[in-house]
Structures are given as C-alpha cells and as structure tokens.
Chain A
Amino acid sequence: MRPDLLILTIFLVVLTYSPVALASPPPDEQMVDPGMEIRARELYRDLRCVVCQSQSIDESNAALAADMRDKVRQRLLAGDSNAEVLAWVRERYGDYVLMTPPLQANTLFLWLLPFIALIGGGAVLVSFVRRQARQAGIRMDGEDEAELARLRDEEGQS
C-alpha cells in the first residue's frame, strides 16, 4: 500500500472510533463496577430514546429513557454482551431504537453513499482535470508564462 493511502486509511479507521461522551444519567444510576458503567454508557449512546427527538437514552431525561437504561443495566448484570443487549432491545423496539442504522438491505444506499459520492464524483473530477490539463499543456508558451507570473504576483506568491 502506498504510504499516503495508508495514512488516509488509518485516519478513516481511527476517526471512526468516537469516544465522545455526552450527558449523564443521574448519579444513582451509576453501576458499581466501573468497567460495567463504561459499557453501560456506550450502550446508552447507541440506543435512541424512542419518545424524544433524535436523542439517545444517554442524553435524555425522559422517564422512558430512564426505564430503558435500567433494562440495559439489568441485562449487563445478567451477563449479556454489548451486542446481545442491543439485539435484545432491537427485538422489542425495532431498528428505530438503534442510533446507528444497521447495515442491511434498506440502509445499504445510505452506508454506501459516501463511497459512491467520492468515487463517482472523483472519477468525473479526474477525467475533467486530465482533459483540461492536456489542453493546458498544449498552450504552454510565453503568454502562459506571463499569466503564471501574474497569478503568482497578485497573491504574493512570486
């Protein structure tokens, strides 16, 4: 892999990991085991408060959100993995309850969109720039040099 691609890939992969912590549930909801608490908070952020406007149950102080946090903690204490807890809640409230849309047939377009846009747009862009640059190459003469100098000069790049 070329180094620049490598850097870009690392960048893409790493930024995907988002450690952003937002609001806090009330102090009496904290789990005794700090490791469990961290997992609980992660799960809260992945679950939508179904009665709120685009808030996770981590951010919401709605009663239903508190109930859902309570259920999440119960499942964690019962020994479920994070994925199992999410699946368990999803079973009852549907895809709607997941803050991240699951990758499946009806969300494929959404997930592929960044790639479609960048690759498709990139292809158009590259072909346009190439075509244009070939023409620019033909016209390299004294006038061209003068224009280059003028452009640099106007912006203090000479």
Chain B
Amino acid sequence: MNRVFLFLPLAIFIVMGVYFALGLREDPSSIPSRMIDRPLPVFDLPGIAEGEPGFSNADLDGQVALVNVFGSWCPPCEIEHPMLMQISRSGRVPIFGVDWRDEPGAGAAWLARNGNPYQRVGDDPEGDLAFELGITGAPETFLIDRQGRVRFHHVGVIDETVWRDTLLPMIEALEVE
C-alpha cells in the first residue's frame, strides 16, 4: 500500500481539529437574523391597555429607533429594564415596545411598576408580529434606520456594554446616513 495513504486519517483529523478550534468559539444555537437590511413588516398593534395608543409602522416616522420585544413574564427583561429606562431618559434614541405573549393587562401593570421607557407599546398577545420578526425569545431588540429597515438585531439583554460598544456607534452612523 502506498505509505502516503496511511497519513490520510491524520490529515483528516488535523483539518477537523482546526475546524473545531475555530467552530468552538461560535454559538451554534444563535440563529442568524433574517431581518437584517429588510424593512419591518407592516403591522398595526393595539395598545396594551384600554385607552392606550397602539404601535404601528407610522409611529417610527423616519427616525432611527429601537424596537424592543419584551414580556412581563420574562425575567431577563426585568434585568434589561433599568438600561432601557436610562436610554429613554437620556433621550438619545426613541424606544418602541412590543409586549409579546402577555396576559391582558399584565404588560401595562409591569410597566406601571417598573417605569415605561417606550414611546409607544404595541400588544402582541398571539405573537403575530414576533413571528414575522423571527423572534426566538425575549428580550430581543431591533435597530431601525430612517427608511424603516432593520439594521441590527440583538438577541438577549442590552446592558451597558452592548449599548456603548454596539448600539450607540451604529445609531450615530445611521443618523448621518
């Protein structure tokens, strides 16, 4: 037998080892967003409580904005909330909320308790908009440009670091676009 062939298993192993070494830094359970550079779907959500305004495409009104999907049932949202409040108070960028899969009134009560960082909040009890957005959990946040397109999709909690190092620079870039 040709002796070179005897090194074939080693060669295959090395190639796969390199892949592993690279691949292990990736998170296979993070799904690449399908929404990047696409316009937000057309939606018109009702308000989360009697008499509250709802949330639709028109509300975005050509501004750079964040759309945050949350729910009163979601513990990480609780963790994220103070950060959203801080951003909201700074007035740097408007935040819109999508209350996902909540019992009637639960979202409103939650916001009354924790403060409301959102310009408008839409109620999505059946997850219709969330499904259109390819949501896999809460919280998730979309960065929308002036044309109403999604430019960034953040899965998970926005904390100080995400805001400072990722979102803020992107917002600044989008505003001069």
**Bound complex: CA of A70 vs CA of B101, how far in Å?**
13
Q: Which residues of A contact B137 (CB under 8 A)?
A: 51, 64
- 0/1 per residue, A86-108, Cβ < 8 Å to B? 00000111101000000000000
Nearest-Cβ distance from residue A68 to partner chain B, whole angstroms: 7
Question: Is A150's beta carbon under 8 Å from chain B?
Answer: no
Question: Is B7's beta carbon under 8 Å from chain A?
Answer: no
Nearest-Cβ distance from residue A64 to partner chain B, whole angstroms: 7
Given A51-B137, A96-B31, 13 additional A-B pairs, CB 8 A: A50-B31, A53-B29, A64-B136, A67-B126, A67-B127, A67-B130, A68-B131, A70-B126, A71-B131, A91-B34, A92-B133, A94-B31, A96-B32
- 0/1 per residue, B123-140, Cβ < 8 Å to A? 000110011111011000
B residues contacting A by CB (< 8 A) are 29, 31-32, 34, 101, 126-127, 130-134, 136-137
B101, B126, B132: which contacts A92 (Cβ < 8 A)? Answer: B132
Chief secondary structure at chain A's binding surface: helix
Chief secondary structure at chain B's binding surface: loop
Question: Is A63's beta carbon under 8 Å from chain B?
Answer: yes
A residues contacting B by CB (< 8 A) are 50-51, 53, 63-64, 67-68, 70-71, 91-94, 96
Nearest-Cβ distance from residue B157 to partner chain A, whole angstroms: 16
**Bound complex: CA of A95 vs CA of B133, how far in Å?**
15
**Bound complex: CA of A70 vs CA of B134, how far in Å?**
15
